[in-house]
Chains A and B, each alone.
Chain A
């Protein structure tokens, strides 16, 4: 085992338990903010569950490509001490002063010698682990090739086998005598991120899982269609290797159930998971494969997930049937698997045959995790997940121990990332303040070679990106064609260009073939340029001697309907990139000192929480609220579904915020102007009763501007006294509970103003609000008859418990279709609600004493629009702020230096908002922990010998940077230039060039694209 370096011997570090996506994010955030981290995982490599996925919803991106760069991030090496095959067995002491006991299993391989050649595994597949053993039947789970650390482990080998292993290992790295090691370690805080297990459907015998090979779990299906899976991305039926024509998904397997072994909660992600698999199936393997999802409620409640559902149904023709099939039976001969189900409102059973059935299995907490929780002394909820506070989303019952991801509750990747960053934020608070700044330790790169006088020698690397590029275009032929271009030294294909292994291949090729220009044919430079630049730097090349041809996002993904033309276009893009890279020059990045103050816009619970977390770590906060008081929308709500007192929580939060010495609260504050760049923003506000103007300087912005409760004029709202929103009802139940005693009939209508033309997405909260208020009403007035008219009940996660409780207490839930919504008519003091009962298949009318509308959220008001315009922030069609990456960076906005928390991002409840507030704080700290800020190399440069001093650039610059110096020439300060290039394109003397985008580079690119036509 590797010894802890000196850095990790101090007490000042965080222990992160679990190396899945959540643990990695927490560790990376901590490392990036200058904290030391010990990351342990029981497996032989980090990566967790996400690395098993083929693609992720809702972008259908390949996970490997988005995840693997994160894992190989360079600071991991410097700040993160990785301990695979290790578990936490004990924790003594208290927050800030824990002593952790760690037990590491022997790997039997000396990591410093192993070259990961794989010879041992090929010779002894039974003894050498290179996979997590997820699938017990087929070799369907070769672990992903971008593995970190890239190593194998050996277990259960006999002495004899060890001898043979040692003999076959060319590196002499086999160590039979390694034994289990125990380590005691001081840590200040702990983040638990061990994730969840997949429910084993074998215990539900009616599903034939484990008996019939064509019944698979959703994760196994994912491996079957994955490019790195056992079938190399071919969709085939396990029983006979033939391509299936009819695939069915069965939802809620192991979730929302009361049968033996099933979990009663909802696993939250399976609906989107199944939808994604069905869409990918249609998209990649052909329209002739029929995909059917049997569901209970389609729970697509996340940001823009409803659009995904609509797309799946309308664009991809995924068949959705609301039915829970009771059995899967293999039919004689080759007829396939029979599923009996109900169709629509018909009471008769239908029988249908399928070639393959996928079980959307839920998640549960394994026994080992429960044992660990016992040892740590932290509370678990009744389902065995780690208990957290209603207003304290990532804190366990023991101070100093935090939790994130599936271990806390079932959730998707984006929410896991939010909690992981939040946990990093909280864990860091037990270490010295971040605002003091951490010394940047420069990554040691070899000195840069001066290649300016060399003839261009271009190396081309074409990434097949699993199937994403290689599936449509023959990458080998493309590489061969590119090899014939002038000045090309090397043209190669990489399977996963962003893997550590591929990066290493590129680096070695640059060095051994003395390549001085690199072209990558791969995905978008927006996401991956920085990784390849790093590789160039490691090889001693300036990072700007690189050009990326976007073959994936802008060719294979969008031209799958024209494969031949796509291949031709790919060839042209490579040619253009080669042509452009030859014109590239070595450039130096500009950097500036950073301002560590933070502007938080919005004084609701999210804004205040983010402000307090940052202030607690020594940052100075300006909190701008446009109203005269703090509190936001939460101040209007009284109870959480669990019964928590929101008002008391908000009051306490306001008091803490107002009293904190590092927070300056500005009420009645309107943002009027904004300029600058991350680390050096300037924002102008008019604040206070007199509307005085002031300008503040700051390094980052957290947008916590919230959303508005929607109040659409449907169902006689604001026309009839008996009609109210759930929010109105919440106040009524708190303030005048007696009113409810007189109610005989109550009707609740879901999805009012959500999931419709005016607002296509789901508002997420309304189902829990309705259930919450229904339970409160029956508590006060047990005789009240409550009808909840819903489209899909979306009580995800543990909220399912309350949904079941409501049904047990007699609340009647009736499903309606979007096309036949209930109707309301005034009837004296009552309102008559008419709807179709799907079981009776006839219209039913209820004389309601009260009609409660579940109205959700909107975010299309002028205020958000103005703010987005002033800050120049992109928004979704619903008006919510657009994050940088919907899965991996949900608290970062697309504009650098801007972060988002709470309902400004998407509808969410208070607990979820608070988690994002803490996550935004963590992300801000990552940005501001650096001493200097890199502002890139695209700056305008003036050639004074050509400049006519005409002033056109002075007048054209949007930021007033150029001026005519005493010599009569235009001068542009590179440190202040924003790099837009407007001056360069307007200069009548062609005296200005924008580096990185010089005229000859652009013209060279055009040449590459077009020259064949004229020549």
Chain B
């Protein structure tokens, strides 16, 4: 089973890298960008075949290492 995990900064947490991306895109002439936020994307190839177990397992891994819940949110899909 493949877990696709997205980690993003919480709202209200300053994201200077996202801001730099936004500014550079605007400097390049791209318009209509209200905001850019930078995050992380992580794939885990799991041996687990039971969906419910995999979900609990990935959630545990996200909370304990992959995301720092002080500043980040996470979400994931399984397929």
Q: Do A and B come from one complex?
A: no
